[in-house]
Homo-oligomer: A and B are copies of this chain.
Amino acid sequence: MKEQLWQNILYVRKNSPLVHNITNYVVMNNTANALLASGASPIMAHAHEEVKSVVAISSALVINIGTLDNYWAESMLLAAEQANDLGKPWILDPVGAGATAYRNEVLAKLIMLKPDVIRGNASEIMSLANHNISGTKGVDSIHQSSEAISAAKSLHEHTGSIICVSGATDIILGNGQKVLIANGNPLMGKVTGLGCTASALIGAFIGTIPDKLEATVSAMALLGIAGEIAAENAAGPASLQLQLIDKLYNISETEFYQLLKIEIGS
């Protein structure tokens, strides 16, 4: 798989998949810029009158519930159904899962539609796997990704989705494989919405690459390594955000493989 990761990054740049995002207000701009920098083409659209048409022209769909309300929840359901009908891959980002009953209800409906990939932080994945966890705190994780491994396994068994738990070590599970990526930098947690960026990039990769697990690993490795390089000379989180977008655009194969810390198992 390792030697394929960089090829996948090049595929995205070459094919420039159109990625339909139904996402939250906080991250729309950064998400769009991360997609463009990586070579994909973003479109944001949520009107009930057009979401199905936009899914139809897109290569993949990204659903992120960060600032949802009933209108947007309906948009998400319409779009996910359409993606399923047309065989388009889609990813669910369950922002703030467990924080409110309302989010849990909407997430239950979305998960029944069987997303190809679910990506969240440890607290979100643990909440999805078991609605009785305690101690969730808004949209930021209070758990380590390692704590979430068994939750990820049970969520994968329940949904069939590839599960990606992002954290100090990212965990990607599915197809009988388990991949760990140890790239990134703690300062990335001080930038709003880098988890959302991760989900959007996964959207770009599953829109181009048939193997959804490998696509997810490629996206997470790209973001982790770009973030790691960006953090090196960052005076703070805003510098990191800027340098991360630039690095998604100009990262080289050498930089990528020099830093890649990956463990592929089962």
Contacts and interface: CB of A to CB of B under 8 A. Distances in A.
Interface of A: 18, 24-30, 32-33, 36-37, 41-50, 53-54, 57-58, 66-71, 96, 99-103, 137-140, 189-193, 234-239, 241-250
A43 B138 contact: yes
22 contacts: A26-B29, A26-B32, A28-B67, A29-B29, A32-B193, A33-B241, A37-B190, A37-B237, A41-B138, A41-B140, A42-B139, A43-B138, A50-B100, A50-B102, A57-B99, A58-B138, A236-B249, A237-B249, A238-B242, A238-B246, A239-B246, A242-B242
A50 B103 contact: yes
Nearest to A35: B192
Q: How many copies does the complex hold?
A: 3
A242 to B, nearest CB: 4
A27 B137 CA distance: 23
A138 B66 CA distance: 23
A103 B41 CA distance: 19
Contacts of A99: 43, 53-54, 57
B53 A101 contact: yes
A30 B193 CA distance: 11
Contact of A18 (B28, B30, B138): B138
Contact of A47 (B27, B32, B68, B241): B68
Nearest to A49: B102
Contact of A36 (B42, B96, B190, B243): B190
Nearest to A137: B18
